[in-house]
Amino acid sequence: MINSPTDLQFEEKNLNVNNLTEVVLCENYLTLIYSNRNLHIISLNSSSNKIKPDLFHGLKRLKSLYIYKAFKEFDQFDPQMLQELDDLRLLHIYENPLSSLDTCNLFSKLQNLKEIKLCSNKLKSIDSHIFSGLVNLVTIDLSRNKIKSLYAKQFAGLTNLKTIILSRNKLESIPVDLFKGLVSLTHIYLNNNLLRNLTYESFDELTNLQEINIYNNPLVIDSNHLKLKKSVKLILNF
C-alpha cells in the first residue's frame, strides 16, 4: 500500500511499481497509472486528479476501485474510462461532483461487477440501460443523490441483485415495474424521498423480498393497495 505524498513537486508524476497489489493515493495530482498485472485494489482519496479516458487502462486484473472526493471536475463519466477493467468486482464512487450517468454502455464491460456504490454524488439522471448486462450485480447503492425519477425496468435482467439502495434522493414516484423480474431481491431502501404512493404491484413478484424501508416519505398508503406477504418487513414513518 502506498499513500502518495502531498507535496506539489509530485505533480504529473506517474506510478509504476510492478509488485503492488493495493494502492491508496491521497491528495495528489495523478494523471496516469501504468499497467500493473498484480494490482487488485486502487483507492483515490481527496485528490485533484486529472480526468483522462485512459487513466485506468491496462489494469485488467483490478478487482476493487474506490474513488472518494478524487476529482474536482467530474460531472460526467468518459465512456472509455472503465472499458478495460474486465475483472472489476467492486466499484465505489462517492462524494464527487458526478451529476449524470447518461451513457448506456458505461459499465458494459464490467461483467464481473458485484457491487456498485454511486452514493453521495450529485446524480440527477441515469440512463435507462446503464446497468444492462451486469448479471452478477448483488448490490446497487444510489443513495444521497438528487435523482427525481427512474425508468421502468431500470434494473431489468439483474437476476442476482439482492439489495437496492435509493435512500435520500428526490423520488416522487417509482414505476410499477421498476423491480420486475428481480427474483433474488431481498432488501429495498426507499427512505427519505418524496414518495406519495406505492402499490402492491411494485413488489408482488419479489418472492425473496425480506424488507422495504420507506421511512420518511410523505406517503398516503391505502392498505388495500399495499398488501405484502407476512414475511416482508415494512419500515414506515408512522
Domains along the chain?
1-98 (3.80.10.10), 123-238 (3.80.10.10)
CA distances to 2, 15, 68 from 20, in Å: 9, 11, 21
Q: What Rg value do the Cα atoms of the chain yield, rounded? A: 19
More confident residue, 234 or 138: 138
Q: How far apart are CA 107 and CA 82, in angstroms?
A: 7
Q: How far apart are CA 203 and CA 163, in angstroms?
A: 14
Q: How far apart are CA 2 and CA 30, in angstroms?
A: 13
* pLDDT, position 5: 43
Summarised one tens digit per residue, pLDDT across range 162-200 is 999 999 999 999 999 999 999 999 999 999 999 998 888
Mean pLDDT of the chain: 81
Q: Name the pTM for this structure.
A: 0.84
Summarised one tens digit per residue, pLDDT across range 59-109 is 888 999 998 886 666 666 777 888 889 999 999 998 888 888 887 788 988
Statement: residue 215 has pLDDT above 90: yes
* pLDDT, position 6: 39
pLDDT band for 31, please (50, 70, 90 cuts): low
